[in-house]
Amino acid sequence: MSKHNIKTVSDVVETNDETLVIFTRGNKLIIDFDNESVTGKWNAKPAGKIKKVIIYHRQDNINVYNNIYVGDFVRIENTDEENRSDVVFKNVMSLGQTKSDWHEFLKSKTTSPVVYV
């Protein structure tokens, strides 16, 4: 898969990966390729076991590719905001980029920025 060929989440998720997919513009996204990364203030309460985290990092510029990252799920941490949590993950890798918008990427019309696949 080329760096710009990601069209949908199924291009980067294996069947039964138990993955949390998060849309972010990045204002609360901290990527640390050597340690734990965090994206935060989500209403994220996993119902089952989560193995992977995929980040759809939207770029603000029109006609620019959006970055796709994957990492291993570590934990959900409570924050100072009620019903909001930080998602902590590690072993982050950049998978490439996509021109797909959030709905095209998920193949869904959901308005939720946090989706379990």
SS3 string, the chain, reads: CCCCCCCCHHHCCCCCCCEEEEEECCCCEECCCCCCEEEEEECCCCCCCCCEEEEEECCCCCCCCEEEEEEEEEEEEECCCCCCEEEEEEEEEEEEEECCCHHHHHCCCCCCCEEEC
CA–CA dist 95, 108 (Å, integer): 21
Confidence of residue 1 (pLDDT cuts 50, 70, 90): very low
pLDDT at 2 over 60: no
**Comparison of pLDDT for 70 and 45, the residue scoring more:** 70
Q: What is the mean pLDDT of residues 91-117?
A: 89
Share of the chain above pLDDT 70, in %: 90
Q: What is the mean pLDDT of residues 15-33?
A: 85
Question: What is the per-residue pLDDT across 26-59, written as a single tens digit (0 to 9) for each?
Answer: 778 999 999 999 987 887 666 678 899 999 998 7
User: Does the pTM of the predicted model rise above 0.85?
Assistant: yes
**Comparison of pLDDT for 75 and 60, the residue scoring more:** 75
